[in-house]
Structure formats: C-alpha cells, structure tokens
Homo-oligomer: A and B are copies of this chain.
Amino acid sequence: MPAGRPPFPFQIVIELPAWLGRFEFAPAYRNAEEKMRLAVVLARRNVEEGTGGPFGAAVFERATGALVAPGVNLVVPSHAATAHAEIVALTLAGQTAGTHDLSELDCELVTTVEPCAMCLGAVPWSGVGRLVCGAREEDARAIGFDEGSKPADWPAALESRRIDVVRDVLREEATAVLRDYQAAGGPIYNPRR
C-alpha cells in the first residue's frame, strides 16, 4: 500500500435486500405477537430469497405500533460480521429517525432470536425501552450458531437499565425458521478461527 493512498472505501454501506423494497408493511403492529410475526416473516423470507441468515428484527414506536425500521441478517452478502438483524434494525432506525438515541421516540426492538453478545451490548446504546425475543439462544445454538459470552442473567442486566425484556413470543415459529434453514443446508458462518 503506498503511503497516502488508503485502499479502503470511505463509507460503510449495508444494502437491504431488494425484496424488502417490495414488502407490504402494515401501518401499525398492535401487539407483541403481531410485531414478532412480522420479524419471523422477514427472517423466513431472508432465507427463501437467499439474502442472509435466518434472523429477523424490527424497531417499532411503542405508542403507535408503527414500524421504524426492519432488519435481517446480512452478514455474508454484505461482507460484514456485524450485520446481524438487530444491529441492522437498530442502526437503520437511528438513521431513519435522525438520532443515535431512540429514547427520543420511545421504541422497542423485536427480534426472532435472543440477541448474541454483540447485539445484546448494542441494546442499551440504542435507547430502546423494550426488547421482545422469539426463540431462545439455545434454539440458535442447537443449529450451530455461536451466541458469544453474555452475562449470566442478561435479562436482569437489561432490566436494571430500565429496559423491559419479553421472551418466548412465537418461539416455535421463530425456531422453525432456524430448523428449516439448517435442513436446507444454510451456511453457519461463524468465523473459522
């Protein structure tokens, strides 16, 4: 590399899959099950379209139930180990809202699988007030995905930061996406190290 001519691009770009641009979103999602159903549909569609891993997420405004931003796992296609569904949804939500702090809107994050160590760490920084989870982390581990080193009682750690945690919402439906992904031979993309 010659001095002064850095070879890296000057922006990070993570493109949402084209099918998301044609997706028919509802004006509002009324309860945790409706919100989770959307996230599960996104996760399943992401697998069917071959645009990433079997994980979906979405950020909603709590007062209205309006979608702020969706997220799907884009690790492999976007060449970004950090592009988990939750990171995508939280980052896109901030950029949509024009602030790094979603507490200004009173939002919640809904995710089809309990967050890995990275995504769990992102939750307090995002300013969301509630985390809603579908499948348990052991459901992801069961098909070979690594969840990382998390605090033993991570729901309590979030609650101590005044972030509500709701678990097992449509757990079976969310887990079915994982199982179908595995059955179809989808890549488990943990780094080879």
Contact = CB atoms under 8 A, between A and B. Distances in A.
A152 B103 CA distance: 28
A76 interface: yes
A166 interface: no
Interface in A81-137: 81-83, 87-88, 90-104, 116-122, 124-127, 129
A146 B66 CA distance: 30
Contacts of A80: 91, 94-95, 100
A25 B122 CA distance: 30
A24 B100 CA distance: 30
Given A81-B94, A121-B118, A4 B24 contact: yes
Secondary structure at the A interface, as helix, strand, loop or mixed, is: loop
B6 A23 contact: yes
Contact of A81 (B101, B150, B151, B157): B101
A156 to B, nearest CB: 10
Contacts of A4: 24-25
B25 A15 contact: no
Interface size class of A (residues with CB under 8 A): 35 or more
Given A3-B27, A9-B92, A81 B122 contact: yes
12 contacts: A6-B21, A11-B13, A81-B94, A81-B101, A81-B127, A82-B91, A116-B125, A119-B121, A127-B191, A127-B193, A149-B157, A150-B151
A190 B151 CA distance: 20
A185 interface: no
B11 A125 contact: no
B125 A121 contact: no
